[in-house]
Amino acid sequence: MGAVGPLTHLIDRYERPRGTEDPDMVPMLYLSVALSRTAGEEDRASGYLRQSRKALIASRGPPPRNTDVIMPEKNPLWARANMARMYRRSGRSSAAMTQERLAR
C-alpha cells in the first residue's frame, strides 16, 4: 500500500482542484495499479482506471468508432495488464479478457 497514499494525495490536492479541463491520466493509472495490488480495493482500482480513460478522452476527443479508447503506449498497457491480473484473481474472467484484448 506504499504508493496508494501519495498518489491519492496527488490526485486529491492537485488534479481534482484543477477541474476536468486538462486532467492527467498517469497518476490515476498508477493509483489503479497500486489499488489492484491491495486486497479489497478492486472496485476503487477499476474506478480509477475508468477515470483515467475519461481523462484521456477529455484531452484527445472521443475514440474512433468501433474501438475502445486509444491510449498512449506504455503506461496504459502496464495498467491494463495489472488490472487483468486483479480481475483474474477475483474471478472476473470476462473483465480480465477485455483488458487483455485491449492491451494487445
Quick: pLDDT tens for 41-84.
999 999 988 888 777 777 666 655 545 555 556 777 788 888 88
Measure the CA–CA gap between 92 and 83, rounded to whole angstroms: 11
pLDDT at 49: 86
Q: What is the pTM of this model?
A: 0.69
Question: Cell triple for residue 83?
Answer: 488490472
